[in-house]
Structures are given as structure tokens and as C-alpha cells.
Amino acid sequence: MYRKFILSLLLAFGSVSFGFAQAGALRDYVGLISIHYHKDVVDYMGKWKSEFEKKGYTKAAKSVDEYLKGLSGSGFAYVDADGACYIITNNHVIRQSDSLSISFEKQDGAKISYDNLKVLMADEENDIALLMFDAGAKPFSQGLAFNEKILDEGEDVFAAGFPGLGNTAIWQFSRGTISNVRVRLPTGNDDETIGPFIQHTAQIDPGNSGGPLLVTLAGVPTGYAVAGINTRSAYGRQAANYSIPLDTVKTFLQAALSKEPANDREAIEKRVAGFIKGLKANHAVYGHIAEYLTAACSAQNAEYSMDEMWDKAPPSVKEAIINEFVYNPVDGMSAGVAWLIENSMRTKSGSMNVSLDSIESNYKGGYTVSFNVNDKTVKSEWVKEYGIWRMDSFGEVVSGDKTLIDAKQKKQEQDKRLRTDYSLLIYVGYTKLFDTGSAFTASLKGGGSYVLYGVNINYAPAPHYFQLEGTLGFYIPIRLGAVALLPFADGGFGFAKMDTPATTDSWGYQVDSAFEVHFDFSVKGGLMFTTAAVPGLFVQADFGHNWFFGAGGENFFSVGIGYGF
């Protein structure tokens, strides 16, 4: 009995040790994927971090800051029948990447890394991507085994990958059970669902995406076989994690590694049809458009599109796109570019009528797709990215033209220099009083929002004339590039002192000249002209009429120069 107990104990200890060794061997096949983004994306994000901080969007600024420190996901090795080596991961892990790296970490901390991985094929709908090694390298003689048995609820499963802890990705191997062997998840759009998925309780966290869901399997080097790809977790649910089933992965691999030539014409027609269909929704469609943009399109047009968004988008759209930045800065950037495309397609009334004109192959190996947008032809260029046809440009508004942002910034600077909303005006000039003669004019006015009030003085030494009025008026700025015209009108009320010339009365007696005071009321209208070349400086011309109580009235004309603050 004692010997049997010792033997059982040794066997149990051996099996536990062997199990740990098998779990440790997974590290040779499950790696940490590091994402390297387009240079324009990195440059752009650095600029907008401070912009978000200035505007008070602290969460978005923090998200950008964490993004700039580096993002990552998980992936695992796959070797096909010909010995070619690949990495399987999620599409959302590699979305918008320019290049990728993967590293494998031993239990003792030793690492081996591979750089310049490229995306061979991606499946947006099922969230799968297949990466190939640089120059066709073959670092594996075999990949992880695939599970061939039917899964059942309650069965043990394991998750392996590199979730983040702060800004550091750390290896994690967790255990759970299958709680729903085949589930479809709601999208929040009517009765639409996505899937199927395997629901399980093995712990996965941000960074686990793209790593394998495993079941035990005897006779393979690691003791585990792939049952799916971990892809998401449910918010507000305890231990509800989801994996893409292996049969979906196999279908994807068959298409990605098929030797049959792709029917590009059929694929682009189907892709464009889906794009147009999504534009017919009776709500904002920039989220739909974003799914069709290449990484380069988003990167090269992000800065201009976000500038336009700040200036023109309604508050609800701004808030939604900022929230995209909080969740994922690259998705936020794509949403901004997509909004610019949507905004260019909508009429002033908000309607949008888009149909296909033509699809023509071009010399770049892609397609030029011409749309009829509200009865106007708009051309777009489409290229194959990760095996998927995506939009690389749209008309002139999303063309990757770097001069657009320069021109916008110059215009913004010009608009700042072109002052048309004044809080204080100082003006001097010449007034021709049609009956009295010539006078010197000066005025000082304050106000804002295109309303001005102040005082106006007219003075002439001979004949002696002095007029002081309080004034109230308005002006309408008409901005024409680097210049502005400002039509205005105002009224004044005050008093005037003037010489009354010598006359002869009805009896023939001489009546000497006199210096009289009259209350007066005046109205005038005119035009101010200003330019961005000399901010605040303006010239003015106006015409009006004075009424003197008890002494008639007269017309006048004025020209002069002024400065506005």
C-alpha cells in the first residue's frame, strides 16, 4: 500500500511537471505583435495630443499619449503543408499598421524577434489576419496544432497571449470553460448579428486579441491545440469572452493561401456595391466609410480632416469622433477622414444621393471608381490592401494633398489678420458739408458683434462750425479672401454750433452774423474697406444728412482712414 501511494504521488508530480513544461512550450509559438504605424500617423498624433489638451479633451490626449508609447496584440505561428511560415492574429490588431514585428519570450526572459512582417490577407467581417515573414523566412518547422474534435459546453479551454499591464505587455496563460459553444452577438443595429463565436470564461484582457484559444491534445509538442482566436470580451458581463471558431479560421486560411488567381473585377464590384449601400442609411455614415479607407489614406489626410472637423462639424459629431480617439486613436483618425468625405457628399439640406458611374482599371494595378454624387462626378482611387479593396482617395477633398493643410493654415492666419469684428474704432477724415463748407471729422466708437456706439465730432474753423453727436449703428462684414467690405449705417443725436451769415431784413436793415446752437439729428450710410495686409487699418466713405432743429438741414459726404481693435 505504501509503495502504491509513493508511486501515485510520483506519477501525479510528474504529470503536473509535464503539464507546466507543455504550457511553457506554448511561448515558442505564441508571440507579442508590435504595431508600427505610418510616419504621417505618428507625426499627426504628436500634434494633436497638445491640441486635445488645449481644448480640454484630457481622455483623448491621454489615449494618444499611450498610443505613442506603443500598441500591441498577440498572434500565433501557423505552418502550411509546403512549410511556409505565417502568423495568425485578429484584423483589428493590425488595422492601419505600416509594418509589424513579433517577439517570442522564453520563461527565463530570453526573447527572439522578427521584424518587417507584412499582412498577406485580412478578413474584416470575421476579424482575422494572416501575416507573412520578411523575405519568406521560415523560423518554424511546425506551428500550433489545430483541434479536430467537436467542442462541448463545460469543456476546459485555455487562453495564451500578451495582455498589457500599464504600458508593458506580459505573458498570460489562463484557464476557463466553454459557456456557449456557438453564439451570435448583436451589433446594436436592428436585429443584425455577427458571429458565430465561442463564449468562454478563460481570462482575456486587452492585448490578448489575436492569441489562441486552446484545448488539451495529446501527442503534439505543446500538449495543446488551437480551437479558435480570442477576439473580444463583453462589457458588463462577468467572464464572458469570445473567440472565433476554428472552422471560420480554416475557411479564411484556405482563401488566403489559395493558388487560384483572384477575380479582382468581381471583388471590386462587390466592394463598391457594399460601400454605396451603406451610404443610404438615414443617419451619419462616416463610421461606415471609415471601414473602406486604406491606412495611407487615413494617415495622409488626417490632419486636414480634423482641422475641418473642428471648424465645420456639429457638436455631436465632434464628441463622437473624440470618443473614437479615446478608445483607439487610429480609429478616431479614420473617423475624421471619413467624416470629411461624408461632409463633401452632403448638400446644404443634408441630403446625399450617390450612385456608381464607372469602374476602370488603372496603370497602378488598382481601379478608378467614378461616383455620381448629387449629379456631379467624383473620382476615387481604390487599391488592394491586405487582400481587401479599399479607397485610397476621394475627389479633391481626400487626395493626400499636403498643400491643403498648408493652404488652410494660411487662410486661418489670414482670417485672424483680417479684422472685421471690432471692440474699438478710431477714425479721422474729411467731411464736405454741402451748405456750410468743409470740416475735419473724428470719431471714437466701441461695441462688438457688428454693433458700434460712440461719439462723432465735426469741426471747421471758418466758417466757424462745431458738431458733437452720440452715435449708434451697425455694420455687415463681407469677407473676400484677403480683403473685406463692411457696409454700415448709423444715426446720431447731439448739437451743432455754427455761424449764421449777415443778411438784410425785409425793411432793408443789416442783420449781423451770429453764432447759434442747434440740436441736431443725422443719419448716414457708407462703406468701410480693410485688408489682412495691415490688420485693423481701414478706409471709409459715407454719405448722409443732418437735420438742425429750427435751422433746416444739409447733406454731407465724408472720406477718411481709421484703425480698429
pLDDT at 63: 83
Determine the Cα–Cα distance for residues 103 and 98; give it in Å rounded to an integer. Answer: 17
In contact, 454 and 446? CB cutoff 8 Å: yes
pLDDT at 137: 94
pLDDT at 508: 58
pLDDT at 507: 63
For the record, the C-alpha cell of 552 comes out as 433746416
Q: Which CATH architecture has domain 424-564?
A: Beta Barrel (2.40)
What torsion do the CA atoms of 104, 110, 112, 115 make, to the nearest 10 degrees? 90
Q: Where in the chain is the domain with CATH 2.40.10.120?
A: 19-256
Helix axis angle, 58-68 to 39-54, nearest 10°: 150
For the record, the C-alpha cell of 120 comes out as 498577406
The helix/strand/coil state of 52 is helix
- Residues 188-222 as b or e (16 or more Cβ within 10 Å = b): eeeeeeebbbbbbbbbbbebbbbbbbbbbbeeeeb
Q: Where in the chain is the domain with CATH 2.40.160.20?
A: 424-564
Chain position carrying cell 468562454: 200
> Residue 88: phi, psi to the nearest 5?
-100, 135
83: left (phi over 0), alpha (psi -120 to 50) or beta: left
In contact, 221 and 238? CB cutoff 8 Å: no
The helix (H) or strand (E) run that includes residue 152 is: none
Instruction: Give the chain's residues under pLDDT 50.
Output: 1-21, 511-512
Provide the 8-state DSSP code for 237.
S
The helix (H) or strand (E) run that includes residue 156 is: strand 156-161
In contact, 382 and 389? CB cutoff 8 Å: yes
The helix/strand/coil state of 173 is strand
Q: Which CATH number describes the domain made up of 19-256?
A: 2.40.10.120
135: left (phi over 0), alpha (psi -120 to 50) or beta: left
Q: Give the closest residue to 118 by CA, choosing from 104, 137, 139, 105.
A: 137
Q: Give the closest residue to 158 by CA, choosing from 210, 215, 102.
A: 215
pTM of the predicted model as reported, rounded to 2 decimal places: 0.69
Q: Give the closest residue to 139 by CA, choosing from 90, 223, 77.
A: 77
Determine the Cα–Cα distance for residues 158 and 138; give it in Å rounded to an integer. Answer: 27
